[in-house]
Amino acid sequence: MNKYMDIVRLGHKTTVGVLNEGDHIVIQEKLDGANASFKREGNDIIAFSRNTQLSSENNLRGFYEWTQTLDATNLLEGVIYFGEWLVKHKLDYGNNMNQFYLFDIYNEYSQDYEKFSIVKFESVRLNLNLIPVFYEGEYKSFEHLESFIGKTELGVNEGEGIVVKNINYQDRYGKQLFVKLVSDSFREVQKQKAPKDPNYTSEEQAAVKSVLTKARVEKMIYKLVDENVLDERFGIEDMGTILKQLGNRLYDDIVKEEYEAIKNYEEKEVRRVIGKSLPPIVKSVIQEKEAA
């Protein structure tokens, strides 16, 4: 299977040069659901979560069954249809829940994501929901991008953020790269205020806690749900499972997305701070979920 690319936070060192004045870009709503995909294989349709091929036993909360209602002979061969399966995470999408929204098509021959005009054409031809598009045209400015953050065409209240795609950009390794900007409530990196706790004095703790945010932990918990590791009705009784599963995942996620913040500290110390800081964050996520 081909996993969907990691969408990188705009401002990360790897995003320098991704967006330049005059570049043709697409600004899409970033949906808070489960990453899902499907493809044609002969006259069959095979479906995937972000990390796993799906089946009737591991169905990504109904997504597998939905893909089996499609006509395989209508699908293009040699491509993967990527989208978001809207299931309950943090945001409420009302009547749009349990629907698939197409956002990209990956060409397995060229090993690139197709132009958005092809994605739009396929969404119409196959009668698929298309990801909400806020803007398509020349890149203007960072301030222009910011004006779309928090907007939503599907959610009940605010949106999670936006994904910005310059399909023609390639990094020095020849890889495409898309970027994201998220609203305050979904921000995974926050400015860390000076600690008030006298025991909270080390630079390592400040650095790790600046990226070990509630939003990041919550995102990883719901990935456990999407992967069938955790029941969607998880509660305080699942704390042990969550903590056991998240330690390594969070460390890897932080190294991948925010290496600059922790590069000066020993891995052992970073993992220790994660382990010590994680339980109260997980507890807060569970309490907020149960109170909703």
Is the residue at 84 inside a domain? yes
Same domain, yes or no: 166 and 227: no
Same domain, yes or no: 80 and 137: yes
The residue with greater pLDDT, 98 or 156, is: 98
Task: Return the pLDDT at 291.
Answer: 83
Is the residue at 3 inside a domain? no
Task: Return the pLDDT at 1.
Answer: 73
What is the number of structural domains in the chain? 2
Q: By the 8 A CB rule, do 77 and 87 touch?
A: no
Neighbours of 199 (CB within 10 A): 7
Same domain, yes or no: 155 and 210: no
Which of 152, 186, 220 terminates a domain? The answer is: 186
Task: Return the pLDDT at 200.
Answer: 44
Same domain, yes or no: 116 and 143: yes
Same domain, yes or no: 37 and 175: yes
Same domain, yes or no: 142 and 208: no
Same domain, yes or no: 208 and 173: no
Is the residue at 193 inside a domain? no
Query: Of all residues in the chain, what percent carry a pLDDT higher than 70?
Result: 95
Task: Return the pLDDT at 189.
Answer: 56
Same domain, yes or no: 96 and 230: no
Give the CATH number for residue 101: 3.30.470.30
Task: Return the pLDDT at 231.
Answer: 92
Q: Domain of residue 34: give its range.
A: 8-186
Q: Each residue of 157-207: pLDDT tens digit?
A: 889 899 999 999 988 788 999 999 988 777 765 553 333 343 444 788 888
| Of residues 246, 212, 252, the one with CA closest to residue 229 | 246
Is the residue at 195 inside a domain? no
Rounded to an integer, what is the distance from CA 56 to the centroid of its chain?
24
Q: Each residue of 239-276: pLDDT tens digit?
A: 999 999 999 999 999 999 999 999 999 999 999 999 98
Is the residue at 198 inside a domain? no
Same domain, yes or no: 93 and 207: no
Task: Return the pLDDT at 190.
Answer: 54
Residue 128 predicted with pLDDT over 90:
yes
Task: Return the pLDDT at 63.
Answer: 97
Is the residue at 261 inside a domain? yes
d(CA 88, CA 33): 7
